[in-house]
Amino acid sequence: MKDSLKALDGLRGLSALYVLIHHARLALTQSYQSGLVMHPEKYEWYDKLLVYFFGLFKFGHEAVIIFFVLSGFVIHLKQASSNYDFENFKIIAYLKKRIIRIYPTLLVSFLLCLLIDFLIYKFIPDNLGIFSKYTFSSFLYNLFLIPDAPIWGNNFPVWSLKHEWFFYMMYPLLLWLANKSSFLPFIVSIGLYFSYFLGFSIPYIGTAAYTLTVWSLGSLLAVAYKNSYALLKYIPYLLLLCFLYPFVKRTESNFPVLDLCFGLITTGFIALIVLEKISIINSLLIQMTWIGTFSYSLYLFHTPFLSLFKAIIVNSESNHDIPYHLWYVILAILVITPIIYLIYCFTERVAINYKKTI
């Protein structure tokens, strides 16, 4: 099943690309309601086709849920067949690898945000308020990746990275608990989920309390993948939840339910991939592994560049308004992706190669 694991790299890459397209359409063109619905006369027939095509990319939050489940699967994959032997779990090496994997790219993103906001200020000199989010306290919160804290700068996708870091910090504890009883991590995860669901927000953790359960779905899938083919072959049936998910209206109060539901759908889809049930899906995803190699950089760097694009475009428009057409969306995607790959080559890839030597 090694090729199926390569396909998961392709899935991660496509999810990052999906988020880029999702944010590009939000930043660089009018929304469907304020654009095509209210001003159809401003759209040529091909513009209307593009509006409907890019409408397929409105599920950016769901793409992040895919990241969470994939992360849970990959992080726990090595330990999933060791009967939770915590004594042989090298926690210092684990933490060192997580730090090397996350922080070099994260620190570059801090500098990139500041540099790009300075450039935006140069384009729009009266936009001094752009620096209001750059406070020392928010920098510390983001440096230590505290989930329930304001974003430093304009790079709001960092919210999910904060959740990831919380999962990484919780993992040794959950593994230690599993060594005592396999039910204890389940109890902790469900307890945190329902604490948030019932309205009790834990300081500094916030919504990460319930997304930990979504992440744990990936770790449970890793256990099935390593130890129980009989169970693994039934997990793809979770995809049947796809027929229910679109009919539940998304509101702030039911985020935990919807995210858990989509996490289960994602778990079913990943199980389908590792079982290699539909070879054409695996083949297509394997072809996309090249995107997966720099998916972290693509995810973390794209928002600052989109902000710069938006500032330039809006400032160049005669009425200083967001365009109704989607050509800037396409241009931004084509320009930003190779730029981020170049940055990846000198930052994230260096860190990854160093991590392999540990």
Question: Considering the chain, what is the average pLDDT of its residues?
Answer: 91
- R_g of the chain computed on alpha carbons: 21
- Give residue-wise pLDDT tens across range 275-328: 998 889 999 999 999 999 999 999 999 999 999 999 888 777 666 678 898 999
CB–CB of 351/100 below 8 Å?
yes
Q: Mean pLDDT across the stretch 148-157?
A: 87
Q: How confident is the model at residue 94 (pLDDT cuts 50, 70, 90)?
A: very high
| CA distance linking residue 351 with residue 345, whole number of Å | 10
| CA distance linking residue 112 with residue 330, whole number of Å | 22
pLDDT, position 2 = 67
Q: What is the torsion angle, in degrees rounded to the nearest 10, for the CA atoms of residue 103, residue 256, residue 6 and residue 342?
A: -40
Q: Mean pLDDT across the stretch 142-165?
A: 92
- Give residue-wise pLDDT tens across range 224-257: 999 888 899 999 999 999 988 877 777 777 889 9
- Give residue-wise pLDDT tens across range 49-92: 999 999 999 999 999 999 999 999 999 998 887 666 677 788 99
Longest dimension (CA), the chain: 68
Residues 6+ apart with CB under 8 A from 345: none
pLDDT, position 283 = 93
pLDDT, position 229 = 85
pLDDT, position 317 = 65
CB–CB of 7/280 below 8 Å?
no
Give CA 289 to chain center in angstroms. Answer: 16
| CA distance linking residue 20 with residue 337, whole number of Å | 9
Q: Mean pLDDT across the stretch 26-45?
A: 91
pLDDT, position 254 = 85
